[in-house]
Amino acid sequence: MTQQSESTTSSSTTSTTTRDADDPASSPASSPASVQPEGAMSPPSPLTALSPLSPLSPLSPLSPLSPLSPLSPPGPLAEPRPLGERRVWPRSFVDRLTAPLPGLRALARFAREGALRPRTDGLADIPALPFEPGPLPRVGAHTVAVAWAGHASWVIRVGGLTVLTDPVWSRKILGTPARITPVGVAWSALPRVDAVVISHNHYDHLDAPTLRRLPRDTPVFVPAGLARWFRRRRFTRVTELDWWEAAELDGVRFDFVPAHHWSKRSLTDTCRTLWGGWVLTAPDGQRVYFAGDTGYGHWFAHIGRRYPGIDLALLPIGAYDPRWWLSDVHCDPEEAVRAAVDLGAPRMAPMHWGTFVLSAEPVLEPLTRVRAAWERAGLDREDLWDLPVGGSRVLG
């Protein structure tokens, strides 16, 4: 989704530091000297006040810093990289876009006819949105369970670990109305958080107030280029990965995989950090795929071939209307079902709907459409885990 914030930029010959609206005040931990220099790839042209949707410069070739082409899956699974490794990255990941971001012509059309909020009748069903908070299931080291806190925030129990995905426990995020359903899992009800995975840096997926609640030694797994944001906030165990790379924590493997999306957090940092999804693999081989934020496209089939045996796919189904504006970066419900099939995942849990109003579709429409698409595809109804906010389920 499009995000906005104030920005302050300081640059040198080797690195550019961008401060977004939730940055802490300057301190030794947040000074440029504490950050590994970035690579020498040229950034996109400076952006205007319409920068979240401004046209991009022509796509650049793949960075010479990448040992393998990330645009096609390499051979065998990569060996896990060291946890907390400090790395040098290109200054831009604009070459990873699978479609150009909207340009001036699209902006003009949006000004004429676009809307990113439902009509009044589309909001009438807010009281009917499913919200059923309950206790987290008690599970052992060999059981996979998920609980949906809302939007893209999940509590995943896998391989004996408790993992949070894109944790957003805030009532409101920058640039959007307040939540239309409460958080489904109380922060006080969480067990010890063993790890956090982040898909990308948009404000509805990277929430500073929520992350401030975590101990600073919590292991965090993030896309390439995003470790600096966490280290400025004194997180000490941050592992950043490129597409198709992996790290391992207590026997659970964390693989970072491509997505059809983009990144932006301020007026000057379009695509300066990477975006993607995560495949979590338990020691016994059980697998959960968390898509993050993504449009539909070829990456799902690649991921399914590279990681066979995905048991459960957590896939976004909302924030898709109008399609001419959002189709490249957000799946609609029918595309999410196709993605589950492409992945070879027998089970799908919808997400990214019913929490924040980010687009123009009626608030209950994603749920009704995904149920219909699942039925049309001839898939077992029991395998569509259409949980209410706060609901949970155990992989049997």
Q: How many CB atoms lie within 10 A of CB 276?
A: 32
Query: Which DSSP helix (H) or strand (E) runs through 351?
Result: strand 348-351
Give me the tens of pLDDT residue by residue for the chain, a chain 396 residues long.
443 333 333 333 333 344 556 654 433 333 333 333 333 333 333 222 333 333 233 333 333 333 345 776 668 899 999 999 999 999 999 999 999 988 888 888 877 876 678 889 999 999 999 999 999 999 999 999 999 999 999 999 999 999 999 999 999 999 888 999 999 999 999 999 999 999 999 999 999 999 999 999 999 999 999 999 999 999 999 999 999 999 999 999 999 999 999 999 999 999 999 999 999 999 999 999 999 999 999 999 999 999 999 999 999 999 999 999 899 999 999 999 999 999 999 999 999 999 999 999 999 999 999 999 999 999 999 999 999 999 999 997
* C-beta of residue 312 within 8 angstroms of C-beta of residue 385: yes
* pLDDT value of residue 22: 67
Instruction: Give the list of residues 6+ apart from residue 367 with CB closer than 8 angstroms, or none.
Output: 130, 317, 350, 353, 354, 386
Sheet holding 348-351, edge to edge: 246-249, 252-257, 277-281, 287-290, 312-316, 348-351
CB 132 within 8 A of CB 390: yes
Read off the tokens for 220: 């965090």
Predicted pLDDT of residue 246:
98
- Which bin fits 390, alpha (ψ -120 to 50), beta or left (φ > 0)? left
Taking the C-alpha atoms of residue 281 and residue 308, their distance in angstroms, rounded to an integer, is 11
Cβ contact 372:337 at 8 Å: no
At 25 the pLDDT is 41
What is the Cα–Cα distance from 314 to 325, expressed in whole angstroms? 23
Q: If we measure between CA atoms, which residue out of 328, 336, 333 comes closest to residue 300?
A: 336
Query: Could you give the residue ranges of the DSSP H alpha helices within 158-314?
Result: 208-211, 227-232, 299-306
3-state secondary structure of 159: coil
Q: Which of 207, 213, 220 is nearest to 179 (CA)?
A: 207
Whole-number pLDDT of residue 114: 67
**Alpha-carbon gap, residue 132 to 114, rounded angstroms:** 34
Query: Which two three-digit tokens encode residue 364?
Result: 């209950």
**Contact status, residue 179 vs residue 172, Cβ threshold 8 Å:** yes
List the Cα angle 101/103/106 in 5-degree steps. Answer: 105
